Homo-oligomer: A and B are copies of this chain.
Amino acid sequence: MTAFVISFEPVGRRGKCRKNESLLACAHRLGVGINSICGGEGTCHACRVQVISGAVSKPAPSELEAFSSQELEEGWRLACQTYPASDCKIAVPTDSMTTTQRIQVEGLEAKVSVEPPVRVYRLQLAAPSLETPQADADRLLGALGRRHGVRCAKIDIGALRTISDQLRSWKWKSQAVVRNGELIAILASRNHHLGLALDLGTTKVAGYLVDLSDGRTLAAKGIMNPQISYGEDVISRINRAVKSPDGGVQLQKVAVDAINELCTDLCAEVAAKPEEILEAVVVGNTAMHHLLLRLPVKQLVLSPFVPAISRAVEVKARELGLKIAHGAYVHVLPNIAGFVGADHVSMLLATDAWQAQETTLALDIGTNTEVSLVYKGKITSTSCASGPAFEGGHIKYGMRAATGAIERLRIDRHRILYQTIGGVPPIGICGSGILDALAQLYLTEIIDEGGRIMDNRPRVRAYKGQREFILVSKEEHNGKPAITITQHDIRELQLAKAAIRTGIQVLLESAGCAEDDIRQVIIAGAFGTYIDVASAVTIGMLPSLPIKRFRQVGNAAGMGAKLALISLKSRARAEAVASTVSYVELASNPGFQPIFMQASYLGRYRFVDGRREKSTDAD
């Protein structure tokens, strides 16, 4: 018997399955991150996958419990209980996904016709002679006109500096790269035509290397934003740039150095060079946008919080220190406001939320959370300072999503079930785990709806003047200090989730839209992809709506950047979206304070006429 070939989608990883290997074990061996909280016992139901094609083992008892008969018919299974019986194609839904490389680079796929701003033309020129001593660039531009009907009025100085030597070394055979009437580079005839899409987040940077000739993503990679060592959140980085004239220069440089390294790594994957990257598109929040372009940021943090520019910016890559093709441009998508940036525009673009026919709420959850409401053809947006708690900041045992972080958690009759990134012993708890913990503590009545840790509950102790819940005891932790959730942690989380809920509610009220009218909630961003939506609803961070109305879309901002990279139409759309969105300033809104007070409570609830009403909706 030959081993079966298993393909995991949408990540596109495929490989052979070993004998008696479950789908879960096979996935893990192939590097596909699938959740497994109970450790493969079939009890946590976190490893749900869908068999698209191929034969597998019969459903185990735990699967019959986990799925309805219709779901089983649709191919839904628990990966830990399922064994292939032929080659299979398996779909891994977003909420079953994890990876040790926890930076989100996959995203929602969307189709546009490939129409990038740069075009490439092949040319074979005649060598000059005493009889035809035409200048090199004139010769090239002349041939472009005659053979391809392309008139170039401009030539990039960086490109011009290379032409004479390159044409000679390539025996007068080359590819001319033209962008909007400007010759921006020449390539050897074997060179690729690459583009770079970049999602420049406060914490993480995701880069996609795209083939400009057909729009395919050739490589993707995520790295940390090295500006973190200059300040974890945007405000501290902005302060640094405002305080010292060198601060902004430094922040810009470390970011660009990292991006250059990212380009080199991405190109290495396809045996190309960064000079073959002919165009880049960058999205980021307004602060990242300004710091990358080295724009002034002082006015961003002073009322009325005005960006230096909102419309799209195009700048030569070398002006930013980006080492790609000589005359290549960086196109930076437009911002909406000081705290609603190009990354949010990009997300609205990629998810088609901007043209949603039904009432849609779209969120980018992060240190700063941007929310848009699409209601009756109008888009309103706001921004809420949700803080670093969901990235592990200001939480006693909080940590980023890295190996050893508890990322999923259930409290089952006072037994704590948890899953760590990498399956190693826990060293802390990351955002999605924190959210689960809060929901579980509330559901098991260890904390009340005000967030207070109750007395006389198992695993609750007083420690250094405050109560805390022991997630992993010293004994369970091989003698290392216990991992706990403190009363202070819970307060931090309440502030964070209240900010998000308030943002949603202020938008709804200013648009005159009821919570129930929301037919679709799009949750984007790495954190948003990993959270358990049920937990988020349970703690009142998100409105109490049926779970099926929620869509977790992964790195939609990065996907939007890719669309803008390969399609001029998408750029125009982004510009149109950004300019038509109405921005609602949260802090100055009269409804803010009362809503925020109510939104800090835990539990499922709805706002009706501005008042919190407990909800008992079941899914």
Contact = CB atoms under 8 A, between A and B. Distances in A.
Interface of A: 128-130, 133-138, 141, 154-155, 157, 160-161, 163-165, 168, 293-296, 298-299, 303-311, 313-315, 319, 335, 337-338, 583, 585, 588
Copies of this chain present: 2
Contacts of A138: 309-311
Contact of A311 (B137, B161, B588): B137
A416 to B, nearest CB: 47
A133 B304 contact: yes
Contacts of A168: 299
Interface centre among A160, A337, A585 (most CB of B within 10 A): A160
Q: Which 9 A-B pairs have the closest CB atoms?
A: A137-B309, A135-B310, A135-B307, A164-B296, A157-B315, A133-B304, A130-B304, A164-B308, A128-B306
Contacts of A161: 293-296, 308
A136 B309 contact: yes
Nearest to A140: B309
B133 A299 contact: no
Contact of A130 (B293, B296, B313, B585): B585
Given A165-B298, A298-B165, A299-B168, A306 B135 contact: yes
B136 A299 contact: yes
Contacts of A298: 164-165
A134 B310 CA distance: 8
A149 to B, nearest CB: 19
Contacts of A165: 296, 298
28 contacts: A128-B304, A128-B306, A130-B585, A133-B305, A133-B583, A133-B585, A135-B309, A135-B311, A136-B306, A136-B309, A137-B311, A138-B311, A141-B311, A154-B314, A155-B309, A155-B313, A157-B319, A160-B293, A160-B309, A161-B293, A161-B295, A161-B308, A163-B308, A164-B298, A164-B299, A164-B306, A165-B296, A165-B298
Contacts of A163: 308-309
A310 B132 CA distance: 13
B157 A308 contact: no
